[in-house]
Amino acid sequence: MERRSRLTNLEVFVVRAAHLTEEQRGHVRELQSQCFAEVPYDQLMEDFVAQSVAKVLAYHEGQPVGCVSVFRRSIEHAGRSIVLGGCGGTCTRADLRGRGVGTTVCLAAMDVLRQEGCDAAFLAVGETSGTAAFYERLGFVLLGKPFTFVNARGVTKTPSSDDVGMLAPVCAREVFELVMAGGEPLHLGPEKGYW
């Protein structure tokens, strides 16, 4: 990616899901429709149904330029209860990519996950999209094994696209290491959906 100057005067807001205004919802929809237009409708309705706990929104000169959704849920893995956080649907307005917006919103999302006491953070990326490199800079590593989730109809599935999981330590490095070490797939249920 071409190296461009950082956007310096970003205004960043962390908004709990219950406090999102209609205007902010509109900004998220506008950005996501630019960034994820290729995601099939079925996948949106059946797989990407996880409820976020907060959104991070970035504005430049009063205009929405980036956002990410923040997730938190409890899962069981290798006989242990884990508080799994996540950030998903990171997007930067197309003409402002490569200027630090994505990094800024994701770092703010990671701060939320730390405050929420999440052990580790999960996200999924398209294996062939190249975005894994972006998240590696933020401390995520490829899971290196499958993950499963429960879709909107209650069916346990593996992702249908070329999505692969990534994990980062947040509050508990030993939990991150536990999940990374075992051969057992990471199951994101029983809550529905993934991100």
Ligand X SMILES: CC(C)(COP(=O)(O)OP(=O)(O)OC[C@H]1O[C@@H](n2cnc3c(N)ncnc32)[C@H](O)[C@@H]1OP(=O)(O)O)[C@@H](O)C(=O)NCCC(=O)NCCS
Residue ranges in contact with ligand X by CB under 6 A: 1, 3, 35, 90-92, 97-103, 125, 129-131, 133-134, 137
Least CB distance to ligand X at residue 161 (A): 11
CB of 176 to ligand X, least distance (A): 19
Asked if residues 128 and 38 have their Cβ atoms less than 8 Å apart, the reply is: no
Q: What's the closest the beta carbon of residue 160 comes to ligand X, in angstroms?
A: 15
Residue 4 CB, shortest distance to ligand X, in Å, is 7
Q: In the 3-class helix/strand/coil scheme, how is the chain assigned residue by residue?
A: CCCCCCCCCEEEEEEEHHHCCHHHHHHHHHHHHHHCCCCCHHHHHHCCCCCCCEEEEEEECCEEEEEEEEEEEEEEECCEEEEEEEEEEEEECHHHCCCCHHHHHHHHHHHHHHHCCCCEEEEEEECCCCCHHHHHCCCCEECCCCEEEECCCCCEECCCCCEEEEEEECCCHHHHHHHHHCCCCEEEEEEECCC
Q: Cβ of residue 38: shortest distance to ligand X, in angstroms?
A: 10
Nearer to ligand X, 73 or 99 (CB): 99
Closer residue to ligand X (CB): 86 or 169: 86
For ligand X, the closer of residues 111 and 178 by Cβ is: 111
* Of 76 and 162, CB closest to ligand X: 162
CA angle 67, 73, 79 (to 5 degrees): 140
Residue 154 CB, nearest distance to ligand X (Å)? 25
Closer residue to ligand X, CB minimum distance, 33 or 81: 33
Please report, as a single letter, which amino acid is at residue 17: A
Comparing CB distances to ligand X, the nearer of 59 and 178 is 59
